[in-house]
Structure 1
């Protein structure tokens, strides 16, 4: 976990003071548990119990991007 935090966060965001570090780590922890895929869980996030539904329809959907940690990490979701 320490290496993951260093590679995905601390190599890209300078933590400028002691009060900034908890904010950065809290935002990354939310991304890590709710969105980031994990190889050991079959590419599911930590808090997901089952695979996301596969879209079989051919209806074009908009892709929404959510910036995490000021744009260092991007999360993508399709709209309904």
Structure 2
């Protein structure tokens, strides 16, 4: 019981928040599970797809250095 108690408490907390209208839950298909990028090892193509959906870009160190220099001007 003690090992699963935290799950029980969290489950009921979230359920209460949904009932109060504080949290809305939406179904998201596997293809659009954006958090996979933070929790799984992904093939490059999948990683880049999710990166774009998050509004992020992958940049080389040279690009980052140039942007940093431009910011300092």
- Normalised to the residue count of structure 2, the TM-score between the two structures is 0.29
Instruction: Identify the structure with the greater strand proportion.
Output: 1
Structure 1 or 2: more helix by fraction: 2
TM-score with structure 1 setting the length: 0.28
Larger Rg: 2
Q: Structure with the greater relative contact order (CA < 8 A, sep ≥ 6): 1 or 2?
A: 1
